[in-house]
Amino acid sequence: MAAALKHWRTTLERVEKFVSPIYFTDYNLCGRLYRDSCPVAALSSFLTPERLSYQQAVQQDFRPVQVGDHFGPTWWTCWFRVELTIPEAWVGQEVHLRWESNGEGLVWRDGEPVQGLTTEGEKTSYVLTDRLGEGDPRSLTLYVEVACSGLLGAGKGSMIAAPDPEKTFQVSRAELAVFHRDVYKLLVDLELLLGIAKSLGEDNQRSFQALYTANQMVNVCDPAQPETFPVAQALASRFFGQRGGESQHTIHAIGHCHIDTAWLWPFKETVRKCARSWVTAVQLMEQNPSFIFACSQAQQLEWVKNHYPGLYTRLQECACRGQFVPVGGTWVEMDGNLPSGEAMVRQFLQGQNFFLQEFGKMCSEFWLPDTFGYSAQLPQIMRGCGISRFLTQKLSWNLVNTFPHHTFFWEGLDGSRVLAHFPPGDSYGMQGSVKEVLKTVTNNRDKGRTNHSAFLFGFGDGGGGPTQTMLDRLERLCNTDGLPRVQLSSPGRLFSELESDAGQLCTWVGELFLELHNGTYTTHAQIKKGNRDCERILHDVELLSSLALARSTQFLYPAVQLQYLWRLLLLNQFHDVVPGSCIQLVVEDAMSHYEDIRSHGNGLLSAAAAALCAGEPGPEGLLVVNTLPWKRTEVLALPKPGGAHTLGLISSAGDSAQHRLCSCSRPHLPAAPAAPAACVRSTRESPEDSFSRPPPTKTDGSVTLDNGILRVRLDPTGRLTSLVLVASGREAIAEGAVGNQFVLFDDVPLFWDAWDVMDYHLETRKLVLGQPGTLAVGTEGGLRGSAWFLLQLSPNSRLSQEVVLDVGCPYVRFHTEVHWQETHKFLKVEFPARVRSPQATYEIQFGHLQRPTHYNTSWDWARFEVWAHRWMDLSECGFGLALLNDCKYGASVRGNVLSLSLLRAPKAPDATADMGRHEFTYALMPHKGSFQDAGVIRAAYSLNFPLLALPAPGPAPAAAWSAFSLSTPAVVLETVKQAEANPLSRTLVLRLYEAHGSHVDCWLHTSLPVQEAVLCDLLEKRDPAGHLPLRDNRLKLSFSPFQVQSLLLVLQPPLD
């Protein structure tokens, strides 16, 4: 036959139509994939709002149904009994159950889950037999459990919209069919050849070779005559058998299935998503010995262990063969910004211990592909938990700047370094297409420095995972000229290759800031508040329980209860829960988890208090505990009989030069406090008069608070017109400006509603102005002075605030209550400072970092909204202003204006997000000198960890005592807990960090009966060279900037 001229487009489209599932299926190859079919013998179902076990479900009353019948609503479950009879004529054929539904399905056979079925995840058939034998049974019964939700939830009108509660579902196909595997293989080859032709383009020789090969296959292949298939197959094999050169980039294809622990579906649905996804992966591992599947999140594995023990056993068997590879090392894939440093440590502590116990080894890679930014302290935390490798891809979502690397060293705040890799395909849900494989090479921003890349394949976010077709594509592309080399690989093999050639890699220092999803620092304020509250409660419970353990032989440390509570908190720190980017059902579950932690935590505090008071002489009273490692004198509201409270000035024990951790005593109410009393006065009277009498009615409506440290002046609407540091007379508020100014912004992002606040929201700033005369005096002096006011934010939302100044306190507090009913609005509060600096400082986990206050470059202005923990500070030489908070995370400093983000009002995926009542406190602290020397860090801790006044079930200790103190304010004793290794052990773990950014030696003094002290890592593994000599109840520790150190204290048996 004479060679014919070929037109590129018509040739390409000819091949496309030959494999199309839509066009010409009566004649083309795709129409021959399933030829013979028959309906199922019988189909019956029952519907339930519950998520029942298989054993419960099969006992129910099943009623006959038809294909196409509707069922629902959203979040219900429909169980189907599927009775099958295979025709005799199909002996020797591969027989499938074809099942298509818009709900997620799970096939059960002989009482065990065997495969997930999801139309969106391209799993629409279950292989009954790969070759029907003469003696095989012709009749069998399967059950299919169908969730009334899709792979990505049930959004009304769009993926991220709030779920449609009335949505209905249907099974659109349920039949038996003969599957023609020779047709399938040809379809895979033709699809890949088309992909090569399209992706390499018309100016590439190999592209034309692929297209002409595919065209010739169409010429020789007659879909109606299977005897023509081998000739077409040989043409494809000849093309794919042409090898690439030795310099080809190597792609490490790793099976993956990202399952959000909760997002557009509730936690309980995730349990079933894990089963549907992983049972399919197990099936693929058993059929493909070279296939390796990476799986993160210990919480999900524990769920499967508890709910699907048979599947879990199969996973462990696959792990023993090296095919199922646990990665990540954490309890869940947590948010990378908002959890505290200690909570991040516990993610690894719980996760790594679980993986060691269940799979025999810990993870060596930190796996966090979908989190909204990464703290600069993560490298140190990873290193301390035995991990030196890190994988993510989320920075490919940057809206403004393209991150310059895919493989690099990431250096953290303290100088710790880890090897970081971002899959250059910029996805964790590849499907094995030629386009994705080529993008992995062309998009790689470290060409010449490394020749290996990860390729994570499998449907993700809502689960699903890899398919056999993805595996077949990748194996066909293993070593083909014109394409990179593709190998089925593991995370360990990938990182070993990267490490072996790491000499040319660049280093990125500091945080990995995601230039998107900045709204997640603020969305769902109640979740943020619950997170901060519960981190504090667990800190306090562990501390008091540790002291009770040290003081009493009778006290049993509540290790089991604390593990349960910590795991609840860690679960809520998943990267779509604490950021607030989840549906209302998830929010309700999260708030319930916080309530569990609060109620159980308070019970454990009471139990520890009872143990600390046991055997004490004296009358009943209160146990007052300072849970911070420095001396404090604070005004405390103390309970009185009948539910009332009285103010008392409480001083923790000890010499003022030492930093005491815990003092337990009966509180006293001194007649004359050592520091000047807080007072309230009008602007027309003298300060001397204010101590002797309450302020008169004020003629201009303003109020001044003065405690001898600060002088605070509020205008008649509650705005801050002056804040003076009394000793120096220095004014902190910018000239001609006012602080405590509430501002509203329009807040309409481009798409990701709960996630994003866009830079253009700053152009819509509107001042919220109050009515003069709403400011009133609250507490009139003595230990506390306060004023309060009401502010109408909008026709639908209002705010009330009490501005409080206590005796001896270096900051003024703003106790705020908001009733919020808005749509797409953003509330912030601003403080213009009389300070000039090109950078501001923000607290992060175990330290702080600086960010610019200007918009010089695109990297600067992309940080128009950033995150911080308990404080931020704007300082110049000799003076600064710090803004503290008790539950907020969103912040910014632009020029000289400190701004704290308070509330948002997004409508997707939760239409009720942030609606209702909110309570929070922020505080303002002007200071002389640096924020380190002025005690800003301690002040923020004090605001977040108030003195505890616990009712003593018996007599409280008559004398105060202190458990720990530190010789330098640069070091913070963050955590005191029992060691994990043995719940009955008398070993404590102490975690300390350097907070100022300095090299420093620190003496730790303890009054506890310590037998031995030794350094350990964050997983509490002893450092063989870490023995610490104990002299006069003191240990010496040396710190570098922002270093975290942990030590084990083995206690002597107490003398009870």
What would the two tokens of residue 351 be?
């996760």
Contact status, residue 784 vs residue 804, Cβ threshold 8 Å: yes
Token look-up 């990182």 returns: 495
453 beta partners? 251
Element (H, E) at 379: helix 378-384
Q: Are strands 1010-1016 and 1022-1027 parallel, antiparallel or unpaired?
A: antiparallel
The DSSP 8-state label assigned to residue 869 in this structure reads: S
Q: Residues of 555-568 as b/e, b for ≥16 C-beta within 10 angstroms?
A: bebbbebbbebbbb
C-alpha–C-alpha distance, residues 192 and 471, integer Å: 13
Give Cα 767 distance to the centre of its chain. Answer: 33
- Which residues have C-beta within 8 Å of that of residue 295, sequence separation ≥ 6? 257, 278, 281, 301, 324, 325, 326, 327
Distance, in Å, from the CA atom of 814 to the CA atom of 820, rounded to the nearest integer, reads 18
Question: What tokens were used for 574?
Answer: 């998943």
Catalytic residue among 370, 461, 576, 886: 370
199-216: b or e for each residue (b if 16 or more CB lie within 10 Å)? bbeeeeebbbbbbbbbbe
Q: Which of 226, 375, 194, 366 is nearest to 296 (CA)?
A: 366
Q: Left, alpha or beta for 465 (phi > 0: left; psi -120 to 50: alpha)?
A: left
User: 700-721 burial, b for 16+ CB within 10 Å, e for fewer?
Assistant: ebbbbbbbebbbbbbbbbbbbb
Q: Strands 452-457 and 871-876, how do they pair?
A: unpaired
**Quick check: 594 and 534 in contact, CB under 8 A?**
yes
The distance between the two most distant Cα atoms of the chain, rounded to a whole number of Å, is 114
Beta strand 798-806 with 645-651: parallel, antiparallel or unpaired?
unpaired
**Angle subtended at Cα 431 by Cα 430 and Cα 432, rounded to the nearest 5 degrees:** 100
Which run of H or E residues covers position 659?
strand 659-660
Residue type, 595: E
* CA neighbor of 911 nearest in space, from 104, 109, 156: 156
Q: Distance between CA atoms of 232 and 15, rounded to whole angstroms?
A: 13
Cβ atoms of 897 and 743 within 8 Å: the answer is no
Residue type at 120? E
Q: What is the DSSP string of 472-533?
A: HHHHHTTT-TTS-EEEE--HHHHHHHHHHT-TT--EEES-B--SS-GGGGTSSHHHHHHHHH
CA dihedral 280, 286, 290, 294 (to 10 degrees): 40
Catalytic, 370? Answer yes
The terminus-to-terminus CA distance of the chain in angstroms comes to 103
Active-site residue set: 370
